[in-house]
A and B are shown apart, each in its own frame.
Chain A
Amino acid sequence: DVKVTQSSRYLVKRTGEKVFLECVQDMDHENMFWYRQDPGLGLRLIYFSYDVKMKEKGDIPEGYSVSREKKERFSLILESASTNQTSMYLCASSPLSVLWGYFGPGTRLTVL
């Protein structure tokens, strides 16, 4: 079975802090994705990566950056967390030929 793990299930940070969310997949997938999920807005794509050191902006990249130094690991970085970044963050991975993903359990981030 595909396994996608995320470093934290719950995280509480203060405004202005730098936040790292990590995602690891064990299926040698080329594609990895970061989404955020908010009530009434559904899932929105922040960034995705189709290869090591490659990244593409999604629909809402502002305020976020990403890093993919190894194939199995994709990190989402909030340089200076703000309260409007309080959300559920979901990582997903998929083989190169498909865009639909296998999701991790999510990280619920609260920024105070």
Chain B
Amino acid sequence: TQLLEQSPQFLSIQEGENLTVYCNSSSVFSSLQWYRQEPGEGPVLLVTVVTGGEVKKLKRLTFQFGDARKDSSLHITAAQPGDTGLYLCAGVGGYGQNFVFGPGTRLSVLP
């Protein structure tokens, strides 16, 4: 069974700070996705990364897929209260046969 771990579980920071959250596995994934989920809502897809070493930027968010395609990171620059939410990573197994979610990182950005 492929598992994804995320760290930290919880993060509380002040507006304007930078932060990085991590998504790790011992398994190889053919692609990895990041979602953000706000309280009481469904997850919203932020980005998909498919190539080892790939870096994608979405405004103040930078996503990186590890060279070995076993891990990923999400870096937020100058965090804002609107970034508050649960950040989930999810991966597609090496042969596209299964899709697993990590447990999430709950981010709180205080004004």
Q: Do A and B come from one complex?
A: yes
Residues of A at the B interface (CB closer than 8 Å) are 4, 9, 40-43, 45, 90, 92, 98-106, 108
Residues of chain A lying within 8 A (CB to CB) of residue B31: 100
From known contacts A99-B92, A100-B33, A100-B48, infer whether A45 and B42 are also in contact, taking CB-CB under 8 Å.
Answer: no
Which chain A residue has the least Cβ–Cβ distance from B35?
A: A103
User: How far is B41's CA from A4's CA once the two chains are assembled, in angstroms?
Assistant: 12
Q: How far is the CB of B79 from chain A (nearest CB, A)?
A: 23
B104 and A42 form a contact (CB under 8 A): yes
Interface residues of B (CB under 8 A from A): 31, 33, 35, 40-45, 48, 88, 90, 92, 96, 98-99, 101-104
Return the contact of B43 from the options A41, A90, A99 (Cβ within 8 A).
A90
Q: Using Cβ atoms and an 8 Å threshold, which residues of chain B touch A42?
A: 88, 101-104
Pair B103/A40 contact, Cβ less than 8 Å: yes
Chain A: CB-nearest residue to B103: A42
Bound complex: CA A101 to CA B42 (Å): 11
- Given the complex, which residues of A lie within 8 Å of B48, measured CB to CB? 100
Residues on the A chain within 8 Å of B44, using CB: 103
User: A40 to chain B: which residues have CB within 8 Å?
Assistant: 103
Contact A103 B42 (CB under 8 A): yes
- Chain B min CB distance to A51 (Å): 17
* Residues in chain A near residue B42, CB distance under 8 A: 4, 90, 92, 103-106
Q: How far is the CA of A106 from the CA of B102 in the complex (A)?
A: 18
Inside 8 A of B102's CB, which chain A residues have their CB? 42
Chain B residue with the shortest CB-CB distance to A102: B45
A97–B92 CA distance with the chains assembled, in angstroms: 12
Q: Are B45 and A105 in contact (CB under 8 A)?
A: no
By beta carbon, the residue of chain A nearest B30 is A99
User: Residue A99 contacts which of B45, B88, B99, B104 (CB distance < 8 angstroms)?
Assistant: B99
Residue A103 contacts which of B43, B103, B104 (CB distance < 8 angstroms)? B43
A99 contacts B101, C-beta separation under 8 Å? no
Contacts of B40 in A (CB 8 A): 9, 105-106, 108
User: Whose C-beta in chain B lies nearest to the C-beta of A97?
Assistant: B96
Find out whether the CB atom of B103 lies under 8 angstroms from the CB atom of A100.
Answer: no
Sampled A-B contacts (21; CB under 8 Å): A40-B103, A42-B88, A42-B101, A42-B102, A43-B43, A43-B90, A45-B99, A92-B42, A98-B92, A99-B92, A100-B33, A100-B48, A100-B90, A103-B42, A103-B43, A103-B45, A104-B42, A105-B40, A105-B41, A105-B42, A106-B41
